[in-house]
Amino acid sequence: MSDDPRPITPEIVTEEEEEKENKGGLVTQGTRPKILYLVPITGRPHLPAQVQPLIVSKQLWEETLAKSARENQGLLGISYFSEVKGKYVYKEDFPKIGCIVRMLNIQEVQGNLQFIAQGLERFKIKKFLSDKPPFVAEVEYFPESKDDEDKVKAYAISIISSIKQLLSLNPLYSEELKQYLNRFSPDQPSPLTDFAAGITTASGDDLQDILETESILDRMKKVMMLLQKEIEIAKLQTKIQKDINIQVDDNKRKFFLKEQLKAIQKELGIQKDDKTSDVDRFKERFAKLHPPEHVVKRFDEEIEKLSVLETGSSEYGVTRNYLDWVTSFPWGVYSKDKIDIVRAEKVLDRDHAGLSDVKERIIEFFAAGVYKKDISGSIILFVGPPGVGKTSIGKSIAEALGRKFYRFSLGGMRDEAEIKGHRRTYVGALPGKLVQALKDTAVANPVIMLDEVDKIGASYQGDPASALLEVLDPEQNAEFLDHYLDLRIDLSKVLFICTANTLDTIPGPLLDRMDRINLSGYITSEKMEIARRHLWPKLLKRNKLNAATITITDPTIRHLIEGYAREAGVRNLEKLLNKIIRKSIVRILKEKQEKIQINIKSLEELLGPPIFTPEKQMTGTGIVTGLAWTAMGGATLSIEAVKVHGKSSGFQLTGKLGDVMQESASIALSHVRSSLKSYGISDDYFDDAFIHIHVPEGATPKDGPSAGITIATAIVSLASGRQIKRLLAMTGEITLTGDVLPVGGIKEKIIAARRVGIKEIILPQGCISDFKNLPEYIKEGIEFHFVKKYKEVYNIVFE
């Protein structure tokens, strides 16, 4: 294509030549140019017989429109683009079929060009004469239709009938459109068909298909399908609108009747309006309470505000909800405590086997309450492994006191508004959990259990643990401020009981406000008692079974505990007993047995081989058994030390040990090397010995300051060549000078040692006070040694 800027002169065809080419065609203005300027449009294609305004970009198409008006007597080719890819259009994007329009009344509107496009006739592009705007193309026109005239006329009559039916269904088509339709007759099938297609809501691609259809009859068939679809949609819309109108009219009628009924009842004094009813109800509720003076003052202010607000306003709803909470809160309503030590002991013994030290501590708490005739000012924290009964003890305390019990879990809580409430200004604002607890229990002195206090989170919404500081401080909680109520609340009469698995994640200031009680877990005899007295009867009752239908022997329960459920708590034991009952029910239904007895043999058939086999303590030179505490309870921990080679001095630690435990190992090695003669080790042993110390179960993280003397003993055993030939375990931290420091978790560690049959334990001298507080049945049958210096450990173990 040449870049010659000279304009292309279009070839003009006279009316006589036009009639020779296509008799009966629709060119009402007398010309059919062979060369056209082209402009693309989007949305819907322009059809012959359509007259409508078009808007095009002035920047892109001003030159095209000017040349078309000047050189083509205002005739322009319009081509439909279903989508425009990119910023520019190219000649390859133009469809082959378009519509000639006559441009009328061209004017500029907000940077665009607007004109009335009068559709004239279809055209086909033969070839392009320009590669860029203004686009110029050589075109040709559709030949004369050769369809059956009778069929065409019949379709034309059907199209006119369908259009009139559509106009009667859809009020969007105006009276002017009906008059416009009267201009078309069955003798003009082509413009009639195009007009019918143009008034439908068909997609641009469907209308382009109509534009490109050469046969008049085929075109009319396609338009009939579009019209029929449009009629069905219009019928559906009419039906929907009719149904909606009926429903709205019915609702209006009911509304007016209700309003009339209210007015009549009000005149007769039978019923009050909504606002008066709300005010009276709140006043009646508030009169039954014993609120402090500042609450009465706030209530009067809010009631006065409610009285002047319109019921339809948003402020009315906010004030009404606020008054609902204020009058639902138990101001000055207290339940009477049943403080009886004997009754409390009976309740605790009935609900819990074992835990004698915990029960004793709770009775002491009750006794203090009896003496001062008030149980308050103390926050109890139960700490222990999962499944040892922390939550159930809280329920028992509430029952023993005769108080209402409310529990909610703090696990995963990240929003401090859960504790202190939201401001009233927020949409959907609510009071905190503590206000909700007092509302639900309807008393101001319930027992509230805060479960999983060690699992509180923190986020951008605040730190709930810090919000609890005010709640759990006996010096502050008499004037706790909830953000929603914005009133001081007395929580000092509430008995708070918290539970946690570990103390590590509880913030120090929060922990300082609580009175700790440790639940260490159960030994085998206690678990058997719990299974016999509590778990087994509860599970039989839950499954609606008689005690005689499925029986289990005591040796079987012991085998179940020692072989399948050695953890500190009894939750897993309960799951296993439930599994036994389920499998037994299957056997009863399948084999038609009336009674089943579970013994050790049938237990292994139901549950498979035991998970835990009798532990054989590791023995040998450089191997020592230590005792450790975990969140799941106590555990035994074997420590191995070996000499890898004698080529160079070195030291390696494995077993996924934490920083504290690695420090303990380094300190233990340094102490032993500084006192070689005292422990019977040759002076040059460590000069060329590469020692490897390992704590088995390397995938399990281990940390804590209680393995110092155990690691030192393993090193001494390795270096002196002497092994420990008796069942012995130890726990304690060591210093560089050989002092043995006290450690925690003594009860859990002794229970773990008893579980595996250890008969001799070495403990730090500083742990004697903890040891003396332990129940005798835990200490029974075990020999204990208390040491201050590591030299004493050495003497006990090796001499």
368-396 burial, b at 16+ Cβ within 10 Å, e below that, comes to ebeeeeebbeebbbbbbbbbbbbbebbbb
Question: 749-782: per-residue pLDDT in tens?
Answer: 888 888 778 889 999 998 898 888 887 878 888 8
The candidate with the shortest Cα–Cα distance to 390, out of 505, 487, 498, is: 498
* Catalytic-labelled residue, pool 404, 493, 702, 749: 749
Residue ranges in the chain modelled with pLDDT below 50: 1-30
CB 4 within 8 A of CB 130: no
| Active-site residue flag, 376 | no
**How many CA atoms does the CB half-sphere of 719 hold within 13 Å?**
28
Helix axes 293-308, 274-287, angle to 10 degrees: 170
Q: Give which of 624, 637, 612 is closest to 726, Cα–Cα.
A: 624
Helices (H), 543-593: 554-564, 571-591
CA-wise closest residue to 421 among 404, 405, 438: 438
The reported pTM is: 0.58
Sheet hosting strand 515-518, strand order edge to edge: 405-409, 447-451, 495-500, 379-383, 515-518
Cβ atoms of 99 and 49 closer than 8 Å: no
Spell out the alpha helix ranges (H) of 186-215: 189-198, 204-212
Instruction: Return left, alpha or beta for 732; rule: phi > 0 is left, psi -120 to 50 is alpha, else beta.
Output: left
HEC string of 450-505 equals EECHHHCCCECCECHHHHHHHHCCCCCHHHEEECCCCEEECCCCCEEEEEECCCCC
CA separation for the pair 19, 23 (Å, rounded): 5
User: How many CB atoms neighbour CB 562 within 10 A?
Assistant: 16
Sequence-ordered list of residues with C-beta below 8 angstroms from that of 242, at least 6 positions apart, any chain: none
CA distance 16 to 28: 13
How far apart (Å, rounded) are the C-alpha atoms in residues 763 and 750?
A: 10
At 8 the pLDDT is 33
Tell me whether residue 85 is one of the annotated catalytic residues. Answer: no
Pick from 624, 653, 669, 626: which is nearest to 764 by CA? 626
Reference 75, options 40, 99, 43; nearest CA is: 99
Q: Which among 469, 406, 462, 408 has a CA at the least distance from the CA of 438?
A: 406
Q: Which of 765, 675, 745, 775 is nearest to 716 (CA)?
A: 675
DSSP H or E stretch at residue 216: helix 216-268
Q: Are 762 and 787 in contact (CB under 8 A)?
A: yes
- The alpha-helical segments, DSSP class H, found in 594-648 are 600-607
Question: What three-state secondary structure class fits 297?
Answer: helix
Quote the Cα angle for 392-395-398, to 5°: 155
Asked if residue 180 lies in contact with residue 173, where contact means CB atoms within 8 angstroms, the answer is no
Closest CA to 83 of 188, 208, 170: 208
Strand partners, 267: none
Cβ atoms 548, 594 nearer than 8 A = no
Nearest CA-CA partner of 778 in 523, 565, 531:
523
Count of CB atoms within 10 A of residue 408's CB? 16
Query: How much of the chain is helix, strand and coil, in % rounded to 5?
Result: 45, 20, 35
Cα–Cα separations (whole angstroms), residue 506 to 398, 499, 511, 539, 628: 25, 11, 6, 35, 21
Q: What is the length of the chain? A: 799
Of 745, 743, 681, 742, the C-alpha closest to 712 is: 681
Are 192 and 26 in contact by the 8 Å Cβ rule? The answer is: no
Q: Which amino acid is at 585?
A: I
The per-residue DSSP string of 678-735 comes to GGT--TTGGGS-EEEEE-S-TTS-B--TT-HHHHHHHHHHHHHT-B--S-EEE--EE-
Surface-to-core class of residue 109, CB atoms within 10 Å of its CB (0-12 exposed, 13-18 middle, 19+ buried): exposed
d(CA 38, CA 100): 9
Q: Which of 706, 717, 720, 747 is catalytic?
A: 706
In sequence order, which residues have a C-beta less than 8 Å from that of residue 460 and are 6 or more positions away?
Answer: none
